[in-house]
A and B are shown apart, each in its own frame.
Chain A
Amino acid sequence: MEEFQIIENYLMVRLPEEVDHHRADYICRKADRYLLDQKVEHIVFDFEDTRFMDSSGIGIILGRYRKISCFGGKVYAIHVDKKVERMFRMAGLNKIVEVLA
């Protein structure tokens, strides 16, 4: 399964089972490389495989949002479970990210 995939002007990021600082650093840098090199406007984060997340996951999304929102880009989060959604709400992320269960 591709972790990073481009479909039209969307960058799809399939997040790992455990989203912590250890993995987040790589995901941020790789996603940013796609944003720079390819003509991508929006990002979709897919939480389908994710069973654990800490605040590093919030950092990944917030950082990418800051990079693309000034160009009109949107951030989507799909397959979000209750745990992840609760963290989104606590960080106010549900106001800037389109969340789909």
Chain B
Amino acid sequence: MNSEKNEMELSFDAVSENESFARVAVAAFVTHINPTLEEIDDVKTAVSEAVTNAIIHGYENYRGYVKGGEGERPVPVHQGKVYVRCRLEGDVLHIEVQDQGKGIADIARAMEPMYTSRPELDRSGMGFSFMEAFMDDLEVESRPAAGTIVRMTKKLGSTSWIACGE
């Protein structure tokens, strides 16, 4: 087990195009320690949930991608940055996803499975549940009007995953 440390930091605009960028970047950051494919998928899903929350709820940029020629008007974007910081300590990955958006008034309620503050948006309310399930550890710090920090940890390359057929 190596105890080497490696860190990276990203900041990007709070727009839905960057959701895939963020999860792919984090996945690429950890590839050299040889995580299993399942672990990579878990990390990508957790990052996607946290970043999507920052964009939709933190900055209220709830509209996703609009296909050209569909007669949709472009939606104004609320300015804001999402910050993703990763630290590898040996085979343990620490992820921090931060926004400086509107914050969460009731964190316990936000973390309840199936709860969504925006039922009109077709959100499932499963974001925090998936982060909790796919990572080893989840911590949420938030202050209304100041923003939210989600901290997640996962030990990689640890589970013996038996390959499953396609």
Contact = CB atoms under 8 A, between A and B. Distances in A.
Contacts of A28: 122
Chain B interface bracket (under 10, 10 to 19, 20 to 34, 35 or more):
35 or more
Interface stretch (B4-12, B62-70, B90-98, B150-158): B62-70
A36 interface: no
A23 B124 CA distance: 15
Which of B44, B65, B114 is the most central at the interface, judged by chain A CB atoms within 10 Å of its CB?
Answer: B65
A56 B16 CA distance: 12
Interface stretch (B47-55, B100-108, B136-144): B47-55
B65 A55 contact: no
Contacts of A20: 16, 19-20, 48, 52
A interface, over-half SS: helix
Contact of B164 (A22, A24, A63, A82): A82
A46 interface: no
A70 interface: no
Nearest to A61: B124
A96 B99 CA distance: 35
Contacts of B56: 21
Contact of A25 (B41, B64, B113, B126): B64
Interface string A11-30: 00000001011111110101
Interface residues of A, number: 26
A22 B65 contact: yes
B75 to A, nearest CB: 10
A83 interface: yes
B41 A83 contact: yes
A54 interface: yes
Given A55-B124, A56-B52, 4 more contacts: A21-B19, A22-B19, A25-B16, A54-B52
A22 B126 contact: no
Interface string B102-127: 00000000000110000001111111
Contacts of A91: 113-114, 124, 126, 129
B64 A58 contact: no
A53 B127 CA distance: 12
